[in-house]
Chain A
Amino acid sequence: MVLVLALGDLHIPHRAPDLPAKFKSMLVPGKIQHVICTGNLCIKEVHEYLKTVCPDLHITRGEYDEDSRYPDTKTLTIGQFKLGVCHGHQVIPWGDLDSLAMLQRQLDVDILVTGHTHQFTAYKHEAGVVINPGSATGAFSSITYDVNPSFVLMDIDGLRVVVYVYELIDGEVKVDKIDFKKTTTPTNLPH
């Protein structure tokens, strides 16, 4: 059982002062094995805070990030799953599932984690899953109205991943979960 935290679009300090206190108290160091961050932290302090939650940190670049050395995309393998990360402002139209699916095919990953829209989505299609953890601080977005702070925790176990989404609605943390099973690799089509 491997726990992977996925979050992003915090926009500290431009659009939000800090992570919600209730989230901070849940993100206890030592419990999570990997952290994936879609980008737009934006400052070094947030990077360091995330490092204390878990040292294995993967970040991609958002358009407001202070550190321009974060890569545009990143792929990593956790257990049986290949994960891809990208902030998403590069994929036009923003938030369009088909275009994101194209990126997923390009990176050849089972799970694609992107952000930018500040809205939680988890979409399953033939090649795998596209997850958007939303904005961990509920930051203002020109794309989404009424953003609730949210983040995602993935529990990867063999060929199965359970996606837990945590949302802060009216001061209470609500949890939802979605199950995905990876099918065994399909046979190659003849060229």
Chain B
Amino acid sequence: MSLFGTSTGFGAGGFGAATTDTHNPMKDVEVTSPPDDSISCLAFSPPAMPGNFLIGGSWANDVRCWEVQDNGQTVPKAQQMHTGPVLDVCWSEDGSKVFTASCDKTAKMWDLNSNQAIQIAQHDAPIRTVHWIKAPNYNCIMTGSWDKTLKFWDTRSPNPMMSLQLPERCYCADVVYPMAVVASAERGLIVYQLENQPSEFRRIDSPLKHQVTGFTYQHRCIAIFKDKQNKPAGFALGSIEGRVAIHYINPPNPAKDNFTFKCHRSNGTNTTTPQDIYAVNAISFHPVHGTLATVGSDGRFSFWDKDARTKLKTSEQLDQPITACSFNNNGNIFAYASSYDWSKGHEYYNPQKKNYIFLRNATEELKPRNKK
């Protein structure tokens, strides 16, 4: 039978067979032909592209491209392989190319028109992050690696345009011109400015630092948010222990404006049993509303309004962790990937377990409260 034989739209449910399953408790649309191993990253095509294309990278070494049609139907389009697990993907701003970062220590440029991929970057260790930077005077690819460097690549040269030393291994990064932020192992946090050329702007003490004990938790995911003028204003930093910090770069009142909140924990109200804390696996900001989504090892996604400081929604619990998420360019679609995130190590890995990517209508649920 055809998955979309009866043309279910977003949020309408109606996957007869799936209703009893715990793999899709939110009754969202399943992307056809998901990867065969954990999904490490998702990215939707930029506004410049007509339509929606979704890229997903996986631990099965592949990067896949789907077209997401307006009725929610997904059409597998193509795939490229790395020789190691793929850890991050990003788009060029015109949507013609996709950049992929892999454990094979390379980054590749995938030209979607010709379906060719060529290597464009090389590190001494697996590349954890890849981002496209479009500046008025230059375009480049920024790669962050576990070799403790951050490199900037012109896609035509074998040598990086610039290489910056990081204090530690790069764990996550985000770019919204003219700002880039990199979070590293041992709680490193560096903001870069990208005007003219990339340069270190400021090192920040991890906002995930415990106020009293000084313990900080491992950085796991980061996403830049913008202000009303559509300029990068700060970032949300997710930790391995169920906490997200909202941090402004130049807040009028740092003590007031910056804050952290807990998320992806169980037994929230019950104080008698220990609270289970899960890793925050990914953060994504809604492109229109500025609200954010977090996904966690607990198999839930949550929507938050950082300005009102409220939670907008928490999903039911999936039977697997959620490892990645992304909004499409107009914020109508929220894609999230359900697969094992290795948070409990090798023993809990079940290669037979199927991975999913789900698509959810994101317009209504991510509207800030009390607005309009």
A interacts with B: no
Spell out A's residues near B (CB within 8 Å). Answer: none
